[in-house]
Amino acid sequence: MSTHIPAAFETAIADVPRRHVGPGGAIAVLRAGEVLAEHHWGWADAERRIPFTAETMTLVCSITKQFTCALMLDQFPDPTALDGDVRRMMPLLKGVAPDALRLAHNQSGLRDYWATAMLCGAPIEGRFTDADARRLIARTSSLQFTPGTRYSYCNQNFRILSDILQDRAGRDYAELLRERILVPAGMPRARLGADTANVPGGTVGYEGTVESGFRPAVNNVIWTGDAGLACSIEDMIAWERHIDATWHDPASRYRRQAVPVTFSDGNPASYGFGLSRMKILGRDATGHGGGLRGWRSFRFYIPSERVSVACLFNHMEDPRAAALEVLAALFGEAAPPPLTAPAPRWTGRFVEPETGLAARIEPAANGVTLQFERHPDLLPANPDGSFGANIRLSATDGTVRMQRRLDNIDTTLTPVSGTPGLDLAGTYRSAEYGAEITIINAGGALYAACSGELGIGAMQALLPHAADIWLMPCPRALDHSAPGDWTLAFRRDGAGEVVGIEVGCWLARHIDYERVA
């Protein structure tokens, strides 16, 4: 563990608000439990000119997941005791139900309700309550993959766990979390801020950019064990100190959460117990990021260096990038320059056969972009002619291979072509979700909208991908990290008539719709 602090470190800390411009934020760097730097700037509420301080409360969003898993291990050191509770929350589920550990590792096979809520007609900035969440979870009758075989980020995994912990204890989850985890860790202000429309302390989250201007973000979602925690940078400093102080105790909760995790085939998993296992500047680390509309956060701990970084923004800039810039300055290291390489010949449009999702590969400077998940991934060139690392594309004799280590997927993409027809207008219904997709040919352009128990969604212009494959954009949702493009793969009968659709996005795949009108 190096004890030298380069002069560039202080400059990097001071530069964070200038490199990641927004209303306000805070960052802290610790080594061996001692604060090397703590910086806060800007405004907790720009309209009322309330400064962002060490005590300013922000939503840390999905960082909540590790605290839910800590509470689970505190209350149930053997989480298999909760497996029956998981099954009872989904009475319609056919076949094998995921167990509590598969939920904690994001290997459940459940579809994320951030996505399925949109299929059920949820308005973009609509109210989403505990009752809405429980109803969507209870509707589950199928899974998108066999539990334990794949990874897929799924917020409701952690809501299910927090609901079970609350029901088992007969006490409010927020009370349990504060009493058993937050207070013992020395986090003076941290508490559940489940109603994201009312952040503890009155801090405002913002959307927008310097060019477009910043405006208060609208959040009307009740999050619990998946994304509901509110903390100050003072609280996060206490959490990082607690992690460092207990790291060498194998029985400590965080150390138990950081143990190696595998898939059912024995392959190593990069996620478990609400924590990502990652490489940061070549060093093993555990941590997590978070994002809701108007809020971004990121924290990690590197045991070999006993170094932690926590960064909180009340706007939509990237806190992970800020944290890595500061860490690189502390270590006196810089990322290597990208390799210059020509664009491959095998860019184009594809379908991934296991998930049924559309994929687009396009040339980019020093690499390619892959549009497959929620947002385009820029994959830099490698010396061997492949592109990317954790997501890796390569080609042999024109056959394109996609490896996704995090997801435990190694697949060959199927090239697709053709012009989609316009004979798709009609109403299609999902029996599982009681939801409908209405498609209308409006003057030669196809539009689609979702509707269901949560409301009636707005019409979206469909984008052609290939013959009988269209994309339905979903750039905004209930909160940050919208589903992105939905793949709509239309089915025809022997006479060539359209009879149904398989609908999917990265967060919710293999949803069957039958044509009803």
Model pLDDT, residue 156: 95
The β-bridge partners of 448 are: 439, 460
Rounded CA gap, 113 and 132, in Å? 10
CATH 2.40.128.50 maps onto the chain at 348-415, 426-515
Nearest to 263 by CA among 401, 371, 106, 135: 106
Q: Is the pTM here over 0.85, yes or no?
A: yes
SS (H, E, C) 9-47: HHHHHHHHHHHCCCCEEEEEEEECCEEEEEEEEEEEECC
Are 482 and 476 a contacting pair, CB within 8 Å? yes
Q: What is the pLDDT along the chain (517 residues), one digit of tens a residue?
A: 556 788 999 999 999 999 999 999 999 999 999 999 999 999 999 999 999 999 999 999 999 999 999 999 999 999 999 999 999 999 999 999 999 999 999 999 999 998 999 999 998 888 999 999 999 999 999 999 999 999 999 999 999 999 999 999 999 999 999 999 999 999 989 999 999 889 999 999 999 999 999 999 999 999 999 999 999 999 999 999 999 999 999 999 999 999 999 999 999 999 999 999 999 999 999 999 999 999 999 999 999 999 999 999 999 999 999 999 999 999 999 877 777 778 898 999 999 999 999 999 999 988 999 999 988 999 999 999 999 999 999 999 889 999 999 999 999 999 999 988 899 999 999 999 999 999 999 999 999 999 999 999 999 999 999 999 999 999 888 877 778 899 999 999 999 999 999 999 999 999 999 999 9
Among the listed residues 62, 308, 430, 481, the single catalytic one is 62
CATH of 426-515, picked from 3.40.50.720, 3.40.50.300, 2.40.128.50, 3.30.230.10, is 2.40.128.50
The topology (CATH level 3) of 348-415 is Lipocalin (2.40.128)
The CATH number of 7-76+172-331 is 3.40.710.10
Instruction: Give per-residue burial for 216-226: e unless 16+ CB within 10 Å, then b.
Output: bbebbbbbbbb
For the chain, where do the domains classified as CATH 3.40.710.10 start and end? 7-76+172-331
Task: Say what the pLDDT of residue 374 is.
Answer: 86
Predicted confidence at residue 3, as pLDDT, reads 61
- 94 as an active site residue: the answer is no
Q: Report the chain's terminal Cα–Cα distance, integer Å.
A: 67
279 is catalytic: no
pLDDT score, position 446: 97
